[in-house]
Amino acid sequence: GENVEQHPSTLSVQEGDSAVIKCTYSDSASNYFPWYKQELGKGPQLIIDIRSNVGEKKDQRIAVTLNKTAKHFSLHITETQPEDSAVYFCAASIKGSQGNLIFGKGTKLSVKP
Amino acid sequence: NAGVTQTPKFQVLKTGQSMTLQCAQDMNHNSMYWYRQDPGMGLRLIYYSASEGTTDKGEVPNGYNVSRLNKREFSLRLESAAPSQTSVYFCASTRRGEDTGELFFGEGSRLTVL
């Protein structure tokens, strides 16, 4: 089955710097790659996603890149702010798997003012 | 719209006790899911229901049962709780049944088994 590896497990940056979180997946049939943000005491919330027919997607300060050949995808956050501090999860899903997502283990991002 | 509502938010059980976690969504979604979240383990799928009337096992189904009561509600039951089931449980739902779309999560239910 699908396996998703996420690195790093913790990341600390200064406010205004960029943050990059990387994930690899094992099943070449995976075609959907979302990123979720989880704030303390809350459920995860989708922040951006990408499908396998696209190489990059941006939404203001957040971008995701996908390399299908290497089977990895990354989350890029530019001009980080203290409110970006949270746990971020990547995930992967296979078409026809009835929406089942396999999640990475998470990255705790801390943005220092 | 409340989105996905889970009850209870906190529960303490003794080993061997049973309990049911309730989940309801008001977004007319077809698919519903139960995940557990443990430190350093991410989110792991316990059971899911792709549509009303169907349920299937996920990655870690042992020790749990589920019921899709109707389109809105999906419950998770622990028949005989064990300390290994101490975790935070999240219910989620999504509109699509066959392909993948955005999952909407509840705020979680923190369960401690002594």
Which token pair is B29? 């979604």
Which regions of chain A are under pLDDT 70? Answer: 95-99
Which is nearest to B54 in space by CA: B67, B40, B39, B38? B67
Mean pLDDT computed over every residue of chain B = 92
In B, which residues are within 8 Å of A34 by CB distance?
Answer: 100, 102-103
What per-residue confidence (pLDDT) applies to B113?
Answer: 97
Give the separation between CA A81 and CA A78, rounded to whole angstroms.
9
Half-sphere exposure of A16 (CA within 13 A, CB side): 1
Three-state SS at B11: strand
Cβ within 8 Å of A, B 63-102: 90, 92, 94, 96-102
pLDDT tens for chain B, residues 1 to 114: 679 999 999 999 999 999 999 999 999 999 999 999 998 888 999 999 988 889 999 989 999 999 998 999 999 999 999 999 999 999 999 886 556 678 999 999 999 999
What per-residue confidence (pLDDT) applies to A96?
Answer: 62
What per-residue confidence (pLDDT) applies to B50?
Answer: 86
In B, which residues are within 8 Å of A89 by CB distance?
Answer: 42-43
What per-residue confidence (pLDDT) applies to A1?
Answer: 78
